[in-house]
Structure 1
Amino acid sequence: MLIKAVRRISGDSLARNSLLIMATTVVNGGLGYLYWMLAARCVPASEIGTATALISAATAVSMIANLGAGHMFIQRLPGSAAADWSRIVSGGLIFAAAATAAVATAGAMIVPRVAGNFGFLAGAQGAAALVCAAVAVTLTTLLDNVYVAHRAGHGMLVRNLAVASTKILALFVILAFPVPGVDWAEAVLISWTVPTLLVSALTVVFGPSRLRPGARVWPAGIVAELPHLRTALTGHHLINLTQAGPAALLPVLVTARLGSDANAHFYLAWMTASMLFMVSPAVASALYAERTNAGRAGLQRASVVVLAVVGVPTVVLFAAGDMILALFSAAYAIEGGLLLKILVLAALPDAVTNLAVAHWRSAGEFRLCRRLNAVRAASCLLLAWLFLPSAGVTGAGVAWLIGQTASALLVAAIALRSRSHRKAGLEAPARAHGRDSDENTTASASRSCVPTGSGKTQLTRRIR
């Protein structure tokens, strides 16, 4: 039975790559637990709060500045020649890293002046830490998308396993042998950032030839990629920004409103729940990659994969979340127990929206995706800003749940409206001609993404 199931999964590229992407999430989550457990037991909460706040800020900067290159890779890399592949990947990585460094530098100069709780970013040392961490996030995110584009989830799994393991090793060494003049927050940041940059550099050197023989990352000719990046910026990037931006900004808001100590308690509960939140984006990315590779992956099949994976972890986290947080310390369980339960409840509406966005993105409905994600982002962030002072970190969870639920209800409304319009459009010809044509019905109701030579998709029917 087990062998039969393994064979079935191995023959289903959507399920296989979704599970590999999720396995990457599990590896990052599990080893991340070990990393933060070690840090939480050896480093004061205030120092952990500073480190997590800077990492959250770096993630937000990366989200703003990565130019949408990741989904551009998924769209354009399949079927491209080695020379084109090299130019696409090189241009995306180099320009996105440069934009990230520029935005991080600007943020380090501006944010401390408007948010006193981010005073640790002031000065050259704080700016350098933010730039390095943000560039590290951008590179690792884009390189993961290169593997997703080729449906090579195993490569992404190995790469992230190397990153997570090296972080733990680096943290252990730094804690065991403190460096004079380096405080605990800086030590945590170094152990988090340096391994990420190192493994990304090794991936850039050795990865391309494995994915596309004859390809390499090299700056020659990358100026030709600027028009494509501008297109990605107005299409994919705005979708990604409104979709993933709230998750990156929420810890930043907690720090700005409540301080670093509160963010330490929030961040560990958030990291625990993120094991659920990362499942549907993983399946959504695999679904998009399948369709750009001319695969026939359906939304229903993707939904089954999500439910199969998140079902048991959802029950475990909801029932035993307090005990899991207590592994860090009793204070983390007290402050974050209710928050974790609320975040777990939000995983289902979050999955509904993520899969819908992937479906509509593959059909070229970028405007619809942007609007849907904008509702979610605005609801989550605005409500969090309002709730945090009175409800503490739990207020961020309530805001997140309300925003996710609102966007899921909007997805349902759009789907029902589209179905009614489609039904009305099919019934009118039937009344006029006195018969139904199965062939015509199928043609008019289908949504097909036909791969073109450039790796883009052509929409044969658009939902209005």
Structure 2
Amino acid sequence: MLMTTARRLSGDSLAWNSLLIMATTVGTGGLGYLYWMLAARTVPPDQVGPATALISAATAVSMVANLGAGHMFIQRLPGTDTGSWSRIVGAGLFAGSVATVATAAVTAMVVPALSGNFAFLSGAGATTALIATAVAVTLTTLLDNLYVAHRAGPGMLLRNLAVSGGKIVALAGVLAAGFHGAVAVLLSWTVPALVISLVTIVAALGRLRPGVRARLTGLRAELPHLRAALTGHHLINLTQAGPAALLPVLVTARLGADANAHFYLAWMTASMLFMVSPAVASALYAERTNAAQVTVTRAAVVVAAVVGGPAIALLAGGDLVLGLFSTAYATEGGTLLRFLVLAAIPDAVANLAVAHWRSRGEFRLCRRLNLIRAVTCLVLAWLLLPTHGVTGAGLAWLAGQTAAALLVVAGLDRKAATTGAMANERVPTAYPVGSRSGSKPAASPRPGETR
């Protein structure tokens, strides 16, 4: 039975690569859970809070600064020659890293002046930590997308397991070396991610695509493509990933670093659910850029099969899970966790819709949908956090995802009604979503082209 299932999965590229991407999420999530459990039990809560807040800020910085190069990899790399491949990858990694360093430096100077709760970012040591952590997140994100572009799930899984396992080993080593507090958390979290990323760039890219390596020659020729990625893919990514990256920052700004520790651990626990649909969406987009005919329905079935059981388990026993950290984490984050779990369903609807539209070059629809859910989530979070505590962030997240899913469903209903009316009128051609009535179907975008 297992062998038959494995053969069927290996013959279904979407399911196989989605499974491997999700295995990466589950594996790293499980090891991350163990890492934070050890950190919560060995580092005082008043030190875990600033560390998680700095990691959250670094994640937000990376999200802003990676320039959309990851999805540019997925769009452009399939079918390219070795010279172009090396130039595209080198330019994307270099530009994303430089932009991350600059954005992190500016953030360390400006944000503490705007909010006293971010005073821990002041000083040369904190600035260095923010820059290093943000670059680690950027490199991890871009390299993951590089593996997705080649539908090389096993390599991505092994690389991420090495990073997550390295963090646990590093935490034990750092504590044994006499480092304690936030420094121990930041060193053990950041250094393994940087080291494994650099090893991947130097030693593993040749295995991913034989005969190539990332290089910095020809950067000028890549500038138009980077600008296109910035205005196309990056704006979609910002509005899609922005709330997830900014919610911990808002929690810190409104409630302080200690409250962020309770929020962050509940968020990390739920992330194993609401990171499934982005994984399947990325696999769906990669399949279509590799000229595979894959339907959204198939992708939705994969998401439902993976999310259903764990979601029910977390709804029933989420308090017990958070209680493994401490009773305080369960008390403060139990209701928050349930709201985050419920949000996984509308989040999946919106993410699969965005992947579908992105594969058809309908970037404006992607940006509009993501902007609505981002604004809804962040505005409500800002308003609800002072009165509802960290639970307000969960309510805001659920509201934003639900609003986006309802818009997707409403759009599908309008499309079905329009198609039915056209059939009744015996109009022979049905135009894709987002096209103007009476216009020709939109052509597929050329590499680097956005709409």
Q: TM-score, normalised by structure 2?
A: 0.96
Pairing 1:339–2:336 present: yes
Equivalent residue number for residue 325 of structure 2: 328
- The equivalent of 1:16 in structure 2 is 16
Query: How far is 1:210 from its partner?
Result: 1.2
Alignment check: 8 A CA contact 1:291 1:449 kept: no
**Per-residue deviation, 1:218:** 1.4
Distance in 2 (alpha carbons) for counterparts of 1:122 and 1:219 = 33
**Shift of residue 208, structure 1, vs aligned partner:** 1.8
Q: Quick one: structure 1 residues 456 and 426, their matched pair in 2 at CA, closer, same or farther if it must change by over 3 Å?
A: farther
Residues 450 and 457 in structure 1, CA contact (< 8 A), matched pair in contact too = no
Indicate the residue corresponding to 1:397 in structure 2: 394
Q: How does 1:328-407 map to 2 (within 5 A)?
A: 328-407=325-404
Aligned-residue offset at 1:341: 0.7
Question: 1:151, CA displacement in angstroms?
Answer: 0.4
Question: What is the distance in 1 between the residues matched to 2:423 and 2:100?
Answer: 49
- SS of residue in 2 equivalent to 1:20: helix
Instruction: After TM superposition, give the deviation of residue 177 of structure 1 in Å.
Output: 2.2
What amino acid sits opposite 2:2 in the alignment? Answer: L
Partner Cα distance (2:178, 2:79) in 1: 49
Q: Write the letter of the residue equivalent to 1:18.
A: S
**What's 2:207 paired with?**
210
8 Å CA contact 2:117–2:253 kept in 1: the answer is yes
Task: Write the letter of the residue equivalent to 2:248.
Answer: P
SS at match of 2:31: helix
CA distance in 1, matches of 2:65, 2:371: 18
Matching residue's letter, 2:77: L
Map Cα deviations across residues 26-47 of structure 1 (whole Å, 9 max, x no partner).
1111000110000000011111
**Structure 2: distance between partners of 1:345 and 1:95:** 37
Give the alignment of 1:220-369 within 5 angstroms.
220-369=217-366
* Runs of 4 or more consecutive aligned structure 1 residues displaced over 3 Å after TM superposition: 443-452, 454-459
Aligned to 1:94: 94
Deviation (angstroms), 1:427: 2.9
- Whether the 8 Å CA contact 1:293–1:451 is kept in 2: the answer is no
TM-score for both structures, normalised by structure 1: 0.93
Percent identity, please.
67
> 1:212: how far off?
1.5
Quote the offset at 1:308 in angstroms.
0.2
- Describe the SS at the equivalent of 1:248: helix
Bigger shift: residues 392-401 or 1-10: 1-10
- 2:438 is aligned to none
2:262/2:332 contact within 8 Å kept? yes
Q: Size of the alignment, in residue pairs? A: 445
Structure 1 residue 172 displacement after superposition: 0.7
Match of 1:164 in 2: 164
Q: Is this contact kept in 2: 1:291–1:362, CA < 8 A?
A: yes
Is the 1:451–1:458 Cα contact (8 Å) retained in structure 2?
A: no
Q: Which residue of structure 2 lines up, in the alignment, with residue 177 of structure 1?
A: 177
Output the amino acid matched with 2:297: Q
**Which residue of the partner structure matches residue 118 of structure 1?**
118
Corresponding position of 1:56: 56
The structural deviation recorded for 1:3 is: 2.1
Cα deviation, residue 162, structure 1: 0.5
| Whole-angstrom distance in 1 between the partners of 2:298 and 2:443 | 20
Tell me, in whole angstroms, the C-alpha distance in 1 between the residues paired with 2:407 and 2:297: 18
- Residue 232 of structure 2 contacts residue 450 of structure 2 at CA under 8 Å; is this kept in 1? no
Quote the Cα distance in structure 2 between the aligned partners of 1:87 and 1:17: 26
Task: Summarize deviations over 1:409-452 as a string: whole Å, max 9, x none.
Answer: 0111111112222232333235xxxxxxxxx56x7679999888
Q: Deviations over 1:62-109 (max 9, x none)?
A: 000100000000000001000000000000000010001000000000
* Residue equivalent to 1:436: none
Structure 2 CA distance, aligned partners of 1:307 and 1:456?
Answer: 33
Can you give the 5+ residue segments of structure 1 that lack an aligned partner in the other structure? 431-439, 460-464
TM superposition shift of 1:456? 7.0
Distance in 2 between residues matched to 1:84 and 1:51, nearest whole Å: 40
User: What is the one-letter code of the residue matched to 2:394?
Assistant: G
* Residues 360-403 of structure 1: CA deviation (Å, up to 9, x unaligned): 11011100100000000000000000000011000110111111
User: Separation in 2 of the partners of 1:230 and 1:397?
Assistant: 35
Distance 1:300 1:457 in 2: 27
> Contact 1:53 / 1:260 at 8 angstroms: preserved in 2?
yes
**1:429 alignment partner, SS class:** coil
CA distance in 2, matches of 1:378, 1:289: 28
Q: Label 1:420 to 1:137 Cα distance change in 2 as closer, same or farther (>3 A).
A: same
Conserved 8 A contact 2:231-2:450: no
Which residue of structure 2 lines up, in the alignment, with residue 433 of structure 1? none
Contact 1:449 1:458 in 2 (8 A): no
